[in-house]
Amino acid sequence: MEPSARIYVAGHRGLAGSALARRLAAEGYRNLVTRTHGELDLTDQAAVRAFFAREKPAYVFIAAAKVGGILANNDYPAEFIQSNLAVQTNVIHEAWRNGAKRLLFLGSSCIYPRDCPQPIKEDYLLSGPLEFTNRPYALAKIAGVEMCASYNRQYGTRYVAAMPTNLYGPGDNYDLAASHVLPALIRKMHEAKVRESDRVVIWGTGKPRREFLHSDDMADACVALIKLPDDKFDEVLRGPNGFPLINIGCGEDQTIAELARTVASVVGFRGALEFDTAKPDGTPRKLLDVGRLRRLGWSPRIDLSTGIAAAYKDFLAHDGGTKKKDAISEAKT
Ligand SMILES: NC(=O)c1ccc[n+]([C@@H]2O[C@H](COP(=O)([O-])OP(=O)(O)OC[C@H]3O[C@@H](n4cnc5c(N)ncnc54)[C@H](OP(=O)(O)O)[C@@H]3O)[C@@H](O)[C@H]2O)c1
Q: For residue range 205-214, what is the model confidence (pLDDT) as tens digits?
A: 999 999 999 9
Q: Could you tell me the distance, in angstroms and rounded to a whole number, from the CA of residue 270 to the centre of ligand 1? A: 34
What confidence score (pLDDT) does residue 192 get?
Answer: 97
For 176-215, the pLDDT digits (tens) are 777 788 999 999 999 999 999 999 999 899 999 999 999 9
37 lines ligand 1 (CB under 6 A): yes
164 CA closest ligand 1 atom index: 6
Tens of pLDDT, residues 29-70 = 999 999 999 999 999 999 999 999 999 999 999 999 999 877
Which atom of ligand 1 is found nearest the CA of 16?
16
Q: What is the separation of C-alpha 312 from the centre of its chain, rounded to a whole number of angstroms?
A: 19
Q: Tell me which DSSP letter residue 136 carries.
A: H
Q: What is the pLDDT of residues 259-282, one digit of tens each?
A: 999 999 999 999 999 999 998 888
Instruction: Report the pLDDT value the prediction gives residue 206, as an integer from 0 to 100.
Output: 96
Looking at residue 176, its pLDDT comes to 78
Pocket test of ligand 1: the residue of 37, 145, 173 to mutate, having most ligand atoms within 8 Å of its CB, is 37
Give me the pLDDT at residue 86, please. 98
- Residues with catalytic roles: 137
pLDDT of residue 171: 87
What is the arithmetic mean of pLDDT over 228-251? 97
> Does residue 167 line the site of ligand 1, with CB under 6 A?
yes
| Greatest CA separation for the chain | 61
**What average pLDDT does range 148-159 have in this prediction?**
98
Residue whose C-alpha is closest to residue 176's, from 193, 194, 191: 191
* pLDDT per residue as tens digits for the range 10-37: 999 999 999 999 999 999 999 999 999 9
The Å distance, Cα 199 to ligand 1 centre, comes to: 33
Per-residue pLDDT of 86-101, as tens digits, reads 999 999 999 999 999 9
pLDDT of the residue at 320: 66
Q: Give φ, ψ of 77 to 5 degrees.
A: -60, -35
Q: Give pLDDT, residue 281.
A: 83
Q: Residue 323 — pLDDT band, cuts 50, 70, 90?
A: very low
In terms of DSSP H, where are the helices of 156-251? Answer: 181-195, 215-226, 230-237
Whose CA is closest to atom 1 on ligand 1? Answer: 167
Ligand 1: distance of its center to the CA of 197 in Å? 34
Query: What burial letters (b/e) apply to 117-128, b meaning 16+ CB within 10 Å?
Result: ebbbbbebbeee
Pocket probe mutation, ligand 1, options 8, 9, 12, 15, max atoms within 8 Å of Cβ: 15
pLDDT, position 74: 86
Does 111 sit in the ligand 1 pocket, CB within 6 Å? no
d(CA 95, CA 313): 37
Q: What is the CA radius of gyration of the chain?
A: 19
Give the pairing of strands 209-210 and 199-203.
unpaired
Whole-number pLDDT of residue 331: 28
pLDDT at 253 over 90: yes
Q: What is the pLDDT of residue 319?
A: 64
State pTM to two decimals. Answer: 0.94
pLDDT at 325 exceeding the cut of 80:
no
C-alpha of residue 231 to centroid of ligand 1, in Å? 30
Residue 330's pLDDT is 27
Report the alpha-carbon distance of residue 277 to residue 96 in Å, rounded: 50
